[in-house]
Amino acid sequence: MKTIFNKNIREELIDRIEKISEDHKAEWGKMNSIQMLKHNTYWNKWILGKENHTYKQTFLGIIFGKIALNKMIKDEKSFDKNIPTSEQFKVKELTGKIEPEKSHWISLIKEYENFNNPDFIHDFFGRMTKEQIGILVYKHTDHHLRQFGI
């Protein structure tokens, strides 16, 4: 199973991130390339514990989260198109500078080499093992790169 904690996988994702440009258009969904980059930098800071996030699982997550997580990470299948995004991760800004945002995302990807965030609780899936986090982060990153044909 592909995981963000594998050095070769991180390097492959970084190579793909470096290819993003303003000219890339989403093949599905509503984000433009800068929104996708900002979404991913914010999302990865959340996973890595880079800002003062409050980690709390939603009520629906308590009921359905583990079932959904197991379904999403049980095999190599990519995430489906147009899966819902939590409100906190929706980026409203339509503009920005691509290169600094790419660099920021890449720096966050590199930080998974030394991942340590014992406080992390996914808002829907709840507490996760390091192995589950690694697979989720890979699939989330791959999902958004595929969204832009990368």
Q: Residue 48, class by beta-carbon neighbours within 10 Å (0-12 exposed, 13-18 middle, 19+ buried)? A: buried
Phi, psi of 42 (to 5 degrees): -65, -45
| CA dist 108 → 26, 46, 105, 135 (Å) | 23, 11, 5, 16
Residue 125 has pLDDT above 90, yes or no: yes
User: pLDDT by residue (tens digit) across 91-122?
Assistant: 877 788 999 999 999 999 999 999 999 999 99
- C-beta separation of 47 from 133 below 8 A: yes
Residue 84 has pLDDT above 80, yes or no: no
pTM: 0.94
User: pLDDT by residue (tens digit) across 37-79?
Assistant: 999 999 999 999 998 888 999 999 999 999 999 999 999 999 9
- Dig out the tokens for 98 from the structure: 């691509």
Q: Which residue has the higher pLDDT, 102 or 22?
A: 102
Calculate mean pLDDT across residues 11-33: 94
Average pLDDT, the chain: 94
Calculate mean pLDDT across residues 118-147: 96
Domain boundaries, the chain: 7-147
